[in-house]
Structure 1
Amino acid sequence: MKHRRYSQGAEVTENGVSFRTWATNKKSVSVVVLNSDRQPIRELPLTLDQESYYTVEDPQAKAGMLYQYRLDGQPLPDPASRFQPYGVHGPSQIVDSTGFAWSDQGWKPPALAELVIYELHVGTFTREGSFRSIIDHFDHLLRLGVNTIELMPIGDFPGDRNWGYDGVEIFAPCRAYGHPGDLRFFINEAHRAGLAVILDVVYNHLGPDGNYLGSYSKTYFNPKHHTPWGLAFNFDCSDCAPVRSFFLENPIYWREEFHFDGFRLDATQAIPDTSKKHIIQEITEEIQARGGLVICEDPRNERRIVLPRSSGGYGCDAVWADDFHHVVRTLMTGENEGYLGYFEGTPEQLLAAIREGWLFTGQLQKDGIPRGTRGIDIEPEHFVVCISNHDQVGNRAFGDRLHAIISPEAYRAASALCLLVPYTPMLFMGQEWACSSPFCYFTDHKPTLGGNIAKGRRKEFEQFSAFRDPEKREKIPDPQAEQTFQSSKLIWDEVAASQHQTVLRLYQDCIRFRQAKLTDRRRGVWQVELVSDQTLALRYSPPKSAEVLILVQLVPAKTTLDLNIPILRSSQAHPWKFSLSSNEPEYGGEQPGFCDPKKEAIFLIQPETILFVAHS
Structure 2
Amino acid sequence: RFRGGSPQFLFRPGGAPLITELIQRARAAARPRRLLMFAENEPQRSELLLPASQGGFDLDGMWNDDFHHAARVALTGVRDGYYRDYGGSAQELVSCARHGFLYQGQYYHWQRKPRGSPMGALPAQSCVIFLQNHDQVGNTFTGRRLHRLTSPGRLRALTALLLLAPQTPLLFMGQEFAASANFTFFADHDGTLGASVYAGRRAFLGQFRCYATPAAQTAIPDPSAEHSFTASKLDWSELGRHRCAYRLHADLLRLRREDPVIARQARDALDGAVLATQCLLLRWFDREHGDRLLLVNLGVESRPDRLAEPLLAPPADRAWELAWSSEHPLYDGRGALSPLAEDGRWRFEAECAVLLRATTIGPELDHHAARS
TM norm structure 1: 0.55
Give the alignment of 1:554-573 within 5 angstroms: 554-560=298-304, 565-573=309-317
In the alignment, the residues of structure 2 paired with residue 434 and residue 549 of structure 1 have an alpha-carbon distance, to the nearest angstrom, of 27
**Structure 1 pair 486–275 and aligned structure 2 pair: CA distance change class (3 A):** same
Match of 1:307 in 2: 50
**Structure 1 pair 306–472 and aligned structure 2 pair: CA distance change class (3 A):** closer
Per mean C-alpha deviation after superposition, the further-off stretch among 368-377 and 553-562 is 553-562
1:526 and 2:270 correspond: yes
Equivalent of 2:76 in 311, 325, 333? 333
Q: Once the two structures are superposed, what CA deviation does each residue of 1:264-301 show, in whole Å capped at 9, x if it has no partner?
A: 11111222344342112222223334332211111222
Equivalent of 1:508 in 250, 272, 279? 250
Q: Once the two structures are superposed, what CA deviation does each residue of 1:316-371 show, in whole Å capped at 9, x if it has no partner?
A: 11111121111111122122222212223222222222221010011011143111
**Aligned-residue offset at 1:608:** 1.6
**Aligned-residue offset at 1:385:** 0.8
In the alignment, the residues of structure 1 paired with residue 59 and residue 205 of structure 2 have an alpha-carbon distance, to the nearest angstrom, of 35
1:608 and 2:347 correspond: no
- The SS at the match of 1:596 is coil
Equivalent of 1:486 in 219, 226, 230? 230
Amino acid at match of 1:294: M
Percent sequence identity over aligned pairs: 33
**Structure 1 pair 591–602 and aligned structure 2 pair: CA distance change class (3 A):** farther
In the alignment, the residues of structure 2 paired with residue 561 and residue 315 of structure 1 have an alpha-carbon distance, to the nearest angstrom, of 50
- The SS at the match of 2:253 is helix
Give the alignment of 1:268-417 within 5 angstroms: 268-289=7-28, 290=31, 291-366=34-109, 367-417=111-161
Q: Once the two structures are superposed, what CA deviation does each residue of 1:465-497 show, in whole Å capped at 9, x if it has no partner?
A: 323432332122221222221111111112222
**Aligned-residue offset at 1:455:** 3.0
Task: Tell me if structure 2 keeps the 8 A contact 1:357–1:376.
Answer: no
Equivalent of 2:4 in 265, 277, 284? 265
In the alignment, the residues of structure 2 paired with residue 538 and residue 376 of structure 1 have an alpha-carbon distance, to the nearest angstrom, of 20
Equivalent of 1:455 in 187, 192, 199? 199
Task: Tell me if structure 2 keeps the 8 A contact 1:467–1:473.
Answer: yes
**Structure 1 pair 297–276 and aligned structure 2 pair: CA distance change class (3 A):** same
Equivalent of 2:167 in 417, 423, 431? 423
Task: Tell me if structure 2 keeps the 8 A contact 1:551–1:610.
Answer: yes
Amino acid at match of 1:444: D
**Structure 1 pair 576–411 and aligned structure 2 pair: CA distance change class (3 A):** same
More strand by share: 1
Gaps (5+ residues) in structure 1? 1-197, 199-262
Report how many aligned residue pairs link the two structures.
353
Q: Once the two structures are superposed, what CA deviation does each residue of 1:373-419 show, in whole Å capped at 9, x if it has no partner?
A: 12252111111111111111112111110111001011111111100
Q: Once the two structures are superposed, what CA deviation does each residue of 1:73-92 show, in whole Å capped at 9, x if it has no partner?
A: xxxxxxxxxxxxxxxxxxxx
In the alignment, the residues of structure 1 paired with residue 101 and residue 47 of structure 2 have an alpha-carbon distance, to the nearest angstrom, of 14
Task: Tell me if structure 2 keeps the 8 A contact 1:548–1:611.
Answer: yes
Amino acid at match of 1:512: R
- The SS at the match of 1:610 is strand
Match of 1:208 in 2: none
Q: Which has the higher contact order (CA 8 A, sep 6+)?
A: 2
**Aligned-residue offset at 1:438:** 0.8
Task: Tell me if structure 2 keeps the 8 A contact 1:562–1:600.
Answer: no
Match of 1:469 in 2: 213
- The SS at the match of 1:578 is strand
Over alpha carbons, which structure has the higher Rg?
A: 1
Task: Tell me if structure 2 keeps the 8 A contact 1:363–1:370.
Answer: yes
1:436 and 2:180 correspond: yes
Task: Tell me if structure 1 keeps the 8 A contact 2:48–2:59.
Answer: yes
What is the root-mean-square deviation in Å for CA atoms of aligned residues?
2.1
**Aligned-residue offset at 1:537:** 0.9
- The SS at the match of 2:246 is helix
In the alignment, the residues of structure 1 paired with residue 75 and residue 318 of structure 2 have an alpha-carbon distance, to the nearest angstrom, of 34
